[in-house]
Amino acid sequence: MPSVYIKTYGCQMNERDSEAVASQLVAKGYTLAPSEAAADVILLNTCSVRDLAEQKALRKMENVIAETRRRSPDVVLGFMGCVAQSRGRELIDRLPDVDLVLGTQKFHRAAGYLDDLLAGRRDKVVDVEAEPGSEAAIREHLLGGNAAKSVTAFVSIMQGCNQHCTFCIVPQTRGEERSRGIPDIVAECRELVARGVREITLLGQIVTSYGRRELPEQEGKSAFVQLLEAVSDIQGLERLRFTSPHPKGYGDDLVEAYARLPKLVESAHIPVQSGSDRILKLMHRGYTRARFLGLIEKLRRAQPGIGLSTDFIVGFPGETDADFEDTLSLLREAEFDQGFVFKYSGRRDTPAAQMPDPLPQTVKEERNQRLLELVNTTGARQHQKFVGRQVQILVEGPSKKNPSRLTGRTRCNKIVVFEGSERHHRQLMDVKVTRAGSFTLYGDPAILDEEG
């Protein structure tokens, strides 16, 4: 049977989509190739959220074509995901060696199309049409692969976004919000738990909008909170997370759920993007700085130990020094545990790309650097508070940087690295934190053993 190699760019949604495609292909008898050089099919799952990511995927495909076509004219080459969706047939016009262009509502069609291409029944396939019901098609997890061995798993609960932030291309690449039903999601989560998964992260572009058109509120609880309750009820599941929410979607019912649902971990990644009301308005974010800070306060009141992270965009068109100072001061006030900083990148056909006063790259670079430094010092201060404390972690496996060590996560989403052994794998266990870096804690289970 043919072998496939999938390279994924971008966010966790893309990782999840790639896993579902790989799983679908494995079920049809394909094998997973360890590298491009060994593959009969090479698929790039692309991201268009920043221009850099898009260019990277295009360059990668040019390199793949140069390498592969020398080796074999029969290797099938395909683009999937956001760049495929936004560029469609243009990709084949530009790179005629590409055989398959598969949009974001078509991942479940990959196996059928690849069969046709490999058998010579079709020469090229471009499918980027909208497909009702496709939001429920991302449900397979790799049998015998990561999900089976892994103690954590991601579950896609919805696709698309209707928020239309002026900088964001997602509503175009992922389409309108479409949510899966609660019973379908719960069934997938149950299956994962039965296979040994102990922590589930519910995924979507704007999870706080989950089901808001299809499922009415019940007893003051939004569809998303109803979903959290239903997944929480699964026996054997230890921890529940979600990403990404929108600050606007954090109603009191969701804040209150943190205090009420024991499996919902004390952790939230809430993208703020800017600390300036003027820029938030230009971004069409739908909240003010004061409302955002009020939300942070409410969350800390509901769960004092909650770990908070965020995303920032620097260099949005027209961002003045004063606007940028507002972002710095918001970070100081909110004391996030972690922040991800992105330089604004104009995306085709988004309102922000047409806005006046684009900022020079040097200004974006300088602001990026200053904000990163503050993110690092704030993060280090927050992490330092854990030194000497005992924390519960779920052990995920070998550390990426140093595979001889193990890594786990606290409920508040801090990474803890420690010298462990096979018996610690997949365990929920306590470790004592001995030191802290900016974004990593270092622990020692032995100290705890001695004390215990």
Q: Which stretch binds ligand SF4 (CB under 6 A): 148-156, 160-168, 232-240, 372-380?
A: 160-168
Question: What residue type is assigned to position 402 of the chain?
Answer: N
* Touching ligand SF4, residues 246-275 (CB under 6 A): 246
Place of tokens 């955002």: 292
Q: Which stretch binds ligand SF4 (CB under 6 A): 161-169, 212-220, 374-382, 407-415?
A: 161-169
Residue (285 or 426) nearer to ligand SF4, CB: 285
- For the bound state, the minimum distance from the C-beta of residue 105 to ligand SF4, rounded and expressed in Å, comes to 16
Q: Which stretch binds ligand SF4 (CB under 6 A): 136-144, 163-171, 249-257, 416-424?
A: 163-171
Q: Which stretch binds ligand SF4 (CB under 6 A): 17-25, 165-173, 223-231, 363-371?
A: 165-173
- For the bound state, the minimum distance from the C-beta of residue 253 to ligand SF4, rounded and expressed in Å, comes to 20
* Residue 170 in contact with ligand SF4, rule: CB under 6 A: yes
Is residue 168 within 8 A of residue 350, CB to CB? The reply is yes
Residue (134 or 243) nearer to ligand SF4, CB: 243
Residue (212 or 246) nearer to ligand SF4, CB: 246
Residue (321 or 349) nearer to ligand SF4, CB: 349
- For the bound state, the minimum distance from the C-beta of residue 87 to ligand SF4, rounded and expressed in Å, comes to 19
Q: What does the longest C-alpha to C-alpha distance in the chain come to?
A: 68
String of contacts with ligand SF4 for each residue 120-159, x by CB under 6 A: ----------------------------------------
Write a three-state SS string for 177-222. Answer: CEECCHHHHHHHHHHHHHCCCCEEEEECCCHHHCCCCCCCCECCEC
* Residue 441 in contact with ligand SF4, rule: CB under 6 A: no
Cα–Cα dist 408/431, whole Å:
10
- Taking phi over 0 as left and psi of -120 to 50 as alpha, with beta for the rest, 284 belongs to left
Beta-sheet pairing, 390-398 with 428-436: antiparallel
* Residue 171 in contact with ligand SF4, rule: CB under 6 A: yes
Q: How many helices (H) and strands (E) does the chain have?
A: 15, 19
- For the bound state, the minimum distance from the C-beta of residue 60 to ligand SF4, rounded and expressed in Å, comes to 24
Which residues are within 8 A (CB) of 158 and not within 5 positions of it... i.e. 6 or more apart?
135, 177, 178, 179, 180, 204, 205, 206, 207, 209, 210, 211
Please compute, for residue 131, the number of CA atoms within 13 A of its CA located in the half-sphere on the CB side. 18
Residue (286 or 398) nearer to ligand SF4, CB: 286
Q: Which stretch binds ligand SF4 (CB under 6 A): 101-109, 123-131, 166-174, 415-423?
A: 166-174
Question: What residue type is assigned to position 263 of the chain?
Answer: K
Q: Which stretch binds ligand SF4 (CB under 6 A): 168-176, 181-189, 259-267, 274-282?
A: 168-176
| Residues composing the chain | 452
Cα–Cα dist 204/177, whole Å:
9
* Residue 11 in contact with ligand SF4, rule: CB under 6 A: no
- The rounded Cα 374 to chain-centroid distance in angstroms is 23
Main-chain phi, psi angles of 123, to 5 degrees? -95, -45
- The rounded Cα 405 to chain-centroid distance in angstroms is 25
Strands (E), 130-283: 152-156, 158-159, 178-179, 199-203, 239-243, 267-269
* Residue 164 in contact with ligand SF4, rule: CB under 6 A: yes
Residue (269 or 409) nearer to ligand SF4, CB: 269
Question: 47 in helix, strand or coil?
Answer: coil
* Total of residues contacting ligand SF4 (CB under 6 A): 10
Please compute, for residue 365, the number of CA atoms within 13 A of its CA located in the half-sphere on the CB side. 3
String of contacts with ligand SF4 for each residue 192-221, x by CB under 6 A: -------------xx---------------
- For the bound state, the minimum distance from the C-beta of residue 376 to ligand SF4, rounded and expressed in Å, comes to 24
Residue (79 or 287) nearer to ligand SF4, CB: 287
Which member of 6, 58, 80, 165 binds ligand SF4 (CB under 6 A)? 165
* Residue 84 in contact with ligand SF4, rule: CB under 6 A: no
Q: Please give the residue ranges that form the binding site for ligand SF4 (CB under 6 A).
A: 161, 163-165, 168, 170-171, 205-206, 246
